[in-house]
Amino acid sequence: MPAGSPDSSAPFPSTALYEQVADRLRQRILGRELEPGSWIDELKLCGELGISRTPLREALKVLASEGLVTMKLRRGAYVTEMSERDVREAYQLLSLLESDAAAEVATRASDADLAELGELHRALEEALPERDAFFAANERFHLRLLEIDGNRWRLQIVGDLRRLMKLNRHHSLFREGRLAESLEEHRAIVKALLSRDAEACRRLVAAHFCNGLSATQTAS
């Protein structure tokens, strides 16, 4: 091979630097190390991460496309803050998308798929009263239902919306007593799924999100 020619057999790097930076910032945002509404100090982050501004700015573009970061003209990047309207509209979309997915799963899922959802629900039962464990088990149940449904566009949209909802200062499950209420709603949803009652699933999941929205408004 001529001197100075690129080695075409060399492996590609597993992840581009800006994607690694985006992952790190995403974790900080979702972990509340960077609070909603806060300004992102690019120079400080570059120093902390030992990088130039180019990969950082590329990373911020990725996070802006996900809705986690808001770019403001001549003011820089900010962690997105969910307004009351944002929260309401997100709940409305989640209600439509996930209630339809539940109806589809009740109709078409295999017995093994439904049994798996039953197991995930049992994990939710066991998580109470630990809020963080309940959050995690709740998310696993909802996302697995969407995976079983198999509509990749729905899964992508719901994944983006659920990620944004983690920025909500008044999460529905923060309200006193909401964990127990949510668990009761899940019990009814699982019962309808196991009975393959599609319309009951649609109605119960829609009500679950309606109650979640009401809880955020009470908590705010």
pLDDT per position as a tens digit, 120-173: 999 999 998 898 899 999 999 999 999 999 999 999 999 989 988 888 866 666
Same domain membership, residue 110 and residue 55: no
| Contacts of 82 by beta carbon, 8 Å cutoff, 6+ apart | 36, 90, 164, 165, 167, 168, 169
Q: Which domain holds residue 187?
A: 84-219
Same domain flag for 138 and 44? no
Residues 67 and 141 in one domain: no
Secondary element (H or E) of residue 71: strand 69-72
Q: How many domains does the chain have?
A: 2
Q: Is residue 7 part of a domain?
A: no
Alpha helices in 109-219 (DSSP H): 111-127, 131-149, 152-165, 178-194, 198-219
75 and 61 in a single domain? The answer is yes
CATH code of 174's domain: 1.20.120.530
Does 93 share its domain with 154? yes
pTM for the model? 0.80
Which one has a higher pLDDT value, 9 or 67?
67
Q: Please count the other Cβ atoms lying within 10 Å of the Cβ belonging to residue 11.
A: 6
Task: Evaluate whether residue 198 is within a structural domain.
Answer: yes
Return the CA Rg of the chain.
21
Q: Does residue 31 lie in a domain region?
A: yes
Q: Are residues 117 and 185 in the same domain?
A: yes
On whether the CB atoms of residues 172 and 216 are closer than 8 A, the answer is yes
- For residues 152 and 208, what is the distance between their CA atoms, to the nearest angstrom? 23
Report how far residue 40's alpha carbon sits from residue 135's, in angstroms, rounded to the nearest whole number.
Answer: 27
Q: Tell whether 101 and 204 lie within a shared domain.
A: yes
Cα-based distances in Å from 79 to 20, 50, 170, 220: 18, 21, 16, 20
**CA proximity to 129, closest of 182, 179, 186, 188:** 179
HSE-CB for 210 with a 13 A CA cutoff: 8
Kindly tell me if the per-residue pLDDT of 215 is higher than 70: yes
Could you write out the DSSP letters of every residue in 146-172? Answer: HHHHT-HHHHHHHHHHHHHHTT-TT-G
The per-residue pLDDT for range 79-123, each reduced to its tens digit, is 999 888 999 999 999 999 999 999 999 999 999 999 999 999 999
Residue 59 banded pLDDT, cuts 50, 70, 90: very high
Residue 1 has pLDDT above 60, yes or no: no
Residue 7 is predicted with a pLDDT of 47
User: Omega into 129 within 30° of 0, i.e. cis?
Assistant: yes
